[in-house]
Amino acid sequence: MRGALLLAILAVASSATVPHACRAEEEPDREESLPFYVPSQAKLQFAGNVGLLSAGGGWSWWHRTVDLDLMFGWVPPMQGDDPIYIGTLEATVWPVELQLGDGWNLRPVSVGGTLSLTFGDDYWVFLPDRYPSKYYWFNTALRIGAFVGGSVGRAFPAPRNVDFYWELGVTDLELWIFLENPRQITFWDVLHLALGVAVAF
Amino acid sequence: MAGGRQAVGFRRVVLAALLVGVAWGAAGCDPFSFSPHQVRFSESERDLTRKNLERIRGLPQEETFKIAVFGDTQGRMTETEDGVEALDERDDVSFAIQVGDLTDFGFTKEFRWTQRLLAEIDVPVLTVIGNHDHLGNGSELYEAMYGPLNHSFFFGRTKFVFLDDNSREHGFDGTVPDLGWLRRELPDDGSYDRAVVVSHVPPTDPDFDPALKDGFVEALRRGGAVLSLHGHVHDFSDDIPFDDGVRYVTADGMEGRNFLVVTIGPGRVEVEQVFF
């Protein structure tokens, strides 16, 4: 858990501290100009079942068709006592990019998946010792999500983009309950929306 | 013109976003979720134990009365819905009790969805926390939606005591069930004629702290309990396992398509299994 936290913080920190000198130079294809491990984008997201706010960053390949991001999410205490912290690994595929002119672009379709880990003693991936084996068939900490979405953005100039994105997602076990109870639960009940901004540098 | 094309693109995007928003709003849902475990309920979903107790206080409190007992709902929504419908056709029950495991995974949305079904019950409904309801952020969610995990109230001359006895979820640390609290709630000091205890796990189950079992049974016997109501085992049983005159009854899970109607009165406890 501590490792994932560290990675998330590193991702945020490193995306925030990409040397400015790199930007000053001509870089028609950023993918070739920086070592592979330096993140190429920073993200800030609202909702999406991975935090009220989540921040992080990651990498983009093949001219923005595949993204991999590491996000750290936070839910403040609302009606309960404790905040919730969530680390998320997110992969997104952007098959289409339309140029709208004047540097604006629309990516009407995205498809992606998330692996999110809720931190803290109340959440476990492996059944704790207090239970006999197979007492619960699921885990409470690690969730798999899937989403579709899109983005609208602008290059300042390419490849430095600012993109506003949205994701309509579902989370594994919430979807499971819907599939078991389609008469009592609507798809709208399990669907959740995320809104965010991604800055590529 | 580039600007024109850009405007059309934007308009489409904004329109699509608006359509999604309107459809969502029409479905009566909040599109934003921050975590499957977020403690975030609407006002009508909060503080339900207190609200239902207020309704119960307003009822005619006859010496002999009937209650309905629903077993573990735990994601069995069709059966729960049918059970609610069957219960609503009756008019002889004062209030209903669900004996825990409202949820399977302890998620916010599960609490909401189960409560949406229980809210259709015409009479007041009370719940007790089950082991599944403890998972993740479950106890905080339970407290936000229903209230304290341990509580008691009087119905006429009968005292009802509801408590958390999901010992395994607390690692058998000796604190659950809270026997000190239970003994104080069952003083048998003449303030009530009989007591009914409601908790999720029956004391005969391995998930009940074995170190606290004798103390629990003793507290009930000394405290004038006539009935101890449970769920958890997904099977109906009605016994006096400790030869002390105290009836221990477990309700079947809702998948069994039945609930209990219990008649309580002076010198009288009758348990009927009602199939639907």
Residues contacting B4, CB < 8 A, separation 6+: none
Q: How far apart are CA A188 and CA A170, in angstroms?
A: 10
Nearest CA to B124 out of B197, B57, B44, B46 is that of B57
User: Which residue of B lies nearest to A194 if distances are taken between CA atoms?
Assistant: B32
Q: Residue A3: which pLDDT band, with cuts at 50, 70 and 90?
A: very low
For residue B231, which phi and psi values (nearest 5 degrees)? Answer: -130, -125
Cross-chain Cβ contact B109/A131 below 8 Å: no
User: Which residue pairs, CB below 8 angstroms and at least 24 apart, start in A118-121?
Assistant: A118/A84, A118/A85, A118/A86, A118/A142, A118/A143, A118/B35, A118/B37, A118/B136, A119/A1, A119/A4, A119/A5, A119/A85, A119/A86, A119/A87, A120/A82, A120/A84, A120/A85
| Residues of chain B positioned with their CB less than 8 A from the CB of A181 | 75, 77-78, 113
pLDDT in tens, A68-92: 999 999 999 999 889 999 999 999 9
The beta-strand segments (E) located in chain B are: 65-70, 95-98, 125-127, 151-155, 158-162, 194-198, 225-230, 237-239, 247-250, 258-265, 268-275
Interface test with B, best of A45, A46, A84 (most B CBs within 10 A): A84
How is residue A109 written in tokens? 């379709």
User: Smallest CA–CA separation between A69 and chain B, in Å?
Assistant: 18
A185 CB neighbours in chain B (<8 A) are 77, 113
pLDDT per residue rounded down to tens, chain B (276 residues): 344 444 556 667 677 777 777 776 665 668 999 999 999 999 999 999 999 999 999 999 999 999 999 999 999 999 999 999 999 999 999 999 999 999 999 999 999 999 999 999 999 999 999 999 999 999 999 999 999 999 999 999 999 999 999 999 999 999 999 999 999 999 989 999 999 999 999 999 999 999 999 999 999 999 999 999 999 999 999 999 999 999 999 999 999 999 999 999 999 999 999 999
Decide if A152 and B10 are in contact by the 8 Å CB cutoff: yes
* Pairwise CB contact (< 8 Å): A52 & B110: no
Residue contact B32–A75, C-beta within 8 A: no
Provide the 8-state DSSP code for B253.
Answer: P
Residues A49, B233: Cα–Cα separation, whole Å: 33
Closest Cα in chain A, distance from residue B101 (Å): 13
Amino acid (one-letter) located at B58: G
- Kindly report the nearest CA distance between residue A166 and chain B, in angstroms: 9
A106 touches B: beta carbon within 8 Å: yes
Q: Which of residues 109-168 of A touch B (CB under 8 A)?
A: 118, 122-123, 128, 130-131, 136, 138, 140, 143, 150, 152, 166, 168
Q: For residue B102, what pLDDT is reported? A: 98
Among A119, A120, A110, smallest CA distance to A196 is for A110
Based on the number of CB atoms within 10 Å of its own CB, is A109 exposed (0-12), middle (13-18) or buried (19 or more)?
A: middle
Q: Name the residue among A161, A145, A156, A148 with its Cα closest to residue A64.
A: A161
How far is CA A24 from each of CA A16, A28, A39, B114, B123, rounded to the nearest angstrom? 16, 12, 17, 58, 71
Q: Identify the residue whose tokens are 């809104």.
A: A195
Q: Locate the chain A residue with the closest alpha carbon to B131.
A: A136
Measured between beta carbons, which residues in chain A are less than 8 angstroms from residue B172? Answer: 130
The answer to whether A101 contacts B46, with C-beta atoms less than 8 Å apart, is no
Distance from CA of A47 to the nearest CA of B (A): 5
